[in-house]
Chain A
Amino acid sequence: MSEHEYTPKSKAGKWFNDRLPLLTLGAHLTDYPTPKNLNYWWTFGGILTFCLITQIVTGIVLAMHYVAHADLAFASVEHIMRNVNYGWLIRYIHSNGASMFFLAVYIHIFRSLFYGSYKSPREVIWIIGLMIYLLMMAAAFMGYVLPWGQMSFWGATVITNLFSAIPLVGDSITTWLWGAYSVDNPTLNRFFSLHYLIPFLILGLVVLHIWALHVPGNNNPVGIDIKKPSKDTVPFHPYITIKDAFALLVFMIIFAGFVFFTPNVLGHSDNYIPANPLVTPAHIVPEWYLLPFYAILRSVPDKLGGVILMFSAIFILFVLPWLDTSKVRSAVYRPIYRQFFWILVIDVLVLGYVGAMPAEGIYLVLARVGTIYYFLHFIVVMPVVGFLEKTDPIPMSISEPVLSGGAEPSVARKVNEKI
């Protein structure tokens, strides 16, 4: 992986490294040449790693006290909250941790969209990232079912029923997923098993994600290919580690704010009512991070059509590297695309908002307009703008705009001040 040869100093180190080159890997990760202009939007990879580890550690602890049985699950969660030492803290970290995980992943994804990090030669990183995102949604959904409250039960019912839209075999698949004729104890049991499995699948994919990243190296805000190592790069440690650590600290303050001051603000109060298969709550809403997709699902007045469109909204992202025809990566040098990027951000936020509202009147209209724009953005805007847009001149190197006082004025000004 590393371009240069690494030899451990000590004899024991050399002996070990010849048999398993872990020290070479460590040296590679330490010295890994990183573009020197990475801004704070690039710190979310490290933040996401922290989120994953937090979820795994707190999850393993919760599993020591939780009981995956339809009659006992709800009570065991309350037992964790009231009786287990620091159970309330661990559970609130885990439940809010899921939200923080998604917050970070959305910023990470939109950063990639803005700076063109999904483009050649980084398509595989992007696709592995999307697989992680899909697994995250599956894990989050199944985790939400485990407390066996009303939202757990009916969320599970609605989501598993999505599969019943499949022609011919839909009902058999749904029954197979349930292990019963409705969401029931077997469903809860298997969801718990899978909820425990998925984070480790994600961990494996994260290793591949980082491995694939280390082949071409990081993209950067200027979006140009750079020589590595060169005057455009800095070693990962200590430059990036310290920057990531600072960003993580700020992130943890926000995280702690939720955990200690408003631990239930992102949840739904109906989930503190035990699951009742006879009564559906008046308003079923998924967790906030799934709302845009929920809005797309509801915007279609047809069962199969809605399900297909909702899944398409995610799967279209997989072919994004080939839908974007522009050779320029960074939106900093793409004046037209940049505007559409922000329209997409607003569009997704609007979809998220209407996803939380009842599917009627103005909300339904907004959901439909939002859904149409979402798909137009990827299918029409990205290919067409890539062809037609006159991009701004891109610098030859990361150092160039700084030294010539050009493209990135804020950076240039800082240098001038020093002089």
Chain B
Amino acid sequence: MSKEEKKVNRRDFLFTASYTVGAVGVGAVIWPMIDQMNPDKAQQALATTEVDISSIEPGKSITVLWRGKPIFIKKRTSEEIAEARAVKLDDLPDPQKDEDRVKDGKDEWLVMLGVCTHLGCVPLKDKGDFNGWFCPCHGSHYDVSGRIRKGPAPTNMEIPKFEFVDSNTIKIG
């Protein structure tokens, strides 16, 4: 009996070892098949864009394309900044201070991903109940800081990584 058991155990070991090596092998083949669908080098190469912002008037905004997505660059008036900062954090579904959405000392410049955080449509400017943006797809309202106020979108519009190269140029990405 014990002799037989020992034999079975040896075979079990071989089975387990074979399955393990087989699984690793299958995984090693499957991963490239999956990863090939991720953004390729050419897509990643588009990671930064420089934008000249010298011609934007206060209260106006421009839209530029970065990584295939629109970026809203808005030069806000002092009234608009004041309005954004007067909002109580309790009134926000995704509480975030306006100060945290802009660069220190460059409070007039709002640079954000012009993509509704619901299902990815591009919100329309100067529309909606909060003086900011309104997404026509499923009715999300954003305020003048790009924060979600009403509708199905779960979070504020995203702020991309960006920096001021000089006072007239920003680099996104």
Contact = CB atoms under 8 A, between A and B. Distances in A.
A184 B152 CA distance: 25
B154 interface: yes
Nearest to B36: A179
Contacts of A182: 67-69, 120
Contact of B136 (A161, A277, A283): A283
Interface string B124-141: 100000000001111100
A183 interface: yes
Nearest to B115: A182
B28 to A, nearest CB: 19
Contacts of B38: 175-176, 179
Nearest to B155: A303
Majority secondary structure, B binding face: loop
B59 interface: no
B105 interface: no
B122 A280 contact: yes
A181 B69 contact: yes
A186 B40 contact: yes
B63 interface: yes
Interface centre among A162, A180, A358 (most CB of B within 10 A): A180
A91 interface: no
Given A176-B37, A180-B39, A359 B67 contact: no
Q: Interface range on chain A: under 10, 10 to 19, 20 to 34, or 35 or more?
A: 35 or more
Interface string B48-70: 00000000000000010101111
A179 B44 CA distance: 10
B121 A158 contact: yes
B43 A186 contact: yes
A338 interface: no
A282 B137 CA distance: 7
B152 A186 contact: no
B40 A303 contact: no
A279 interface: yes
Given A298-B138, A303-B154, A277 B39 contact: no
Nearest to B139: A359
A180 B43 contact: yes
Contacts of B135: 280
Interface centre among B34, B120, B136, B153 (most CB of A within 10 A): B120
Contacts of A181: 39, 43, 46, 67-69
Majority secondary structure, A binding face: loop
A162 B69 contact: no
B39 A175 contact: yes
Nearest to B154: A303
Given A162-B119, A277-B70, A278-B70, A186 B39 contact: yes
A160 B119 CA distance: 8
B110 to A, nearest CB: 18
A301 interface: yes
B37 A158 contact: no
A158 B120 contact: yes
A303 B68 contact: no
A179 B68 CA distance: 12
Given A158-B120, A179-B40, A280 B69 contact: no
Nearest to B153: A303
B37 A280 contact: no
B97 interface: no
Nearest to A284: B137
Interface string A278-308: 1111111000000000000010111110100
Interface in B120-173: 120-124, 135-139, 151-154
Contacts of A183: 68
Interface centre among A157, A280, A282 (most CB of B within 10 A): A280
Contact of A180 (B67, B121, B139, B154): B67
B43 A303 contact: no
Nearest to B64: A278
Contacts of B40: 179, 186
A360 B154 contact: no
Contacts of B154: 302-304
Interface string A166-182: 00000000011111111
Contacts of B67: 180-182
Interface of A: 154, 157-158, 160-162, 164, 175-184, 186, 190, 277-284, 298, 300-304, 306, 358-360
13 contacts: A157-B119, A160-B120, A161-B118, A161-B119, A181-B46, A182-B69, A182-B120, A184-B43, A277-B69, A284-B121, A300-B152, A303-B154, A359-B139
A-B interface, 4 closest residue pairs, ranked by CB to CB distance from nearest: A182-B68, A181-B67, A161-B120, A161-B119
Given A160-B120, A182-B68, 9 more contacts: A161-B118, A161-B119, A183-B68, A277-B65, A277-B122, A278-B70, A284-B137, A298-B138, A298-B152
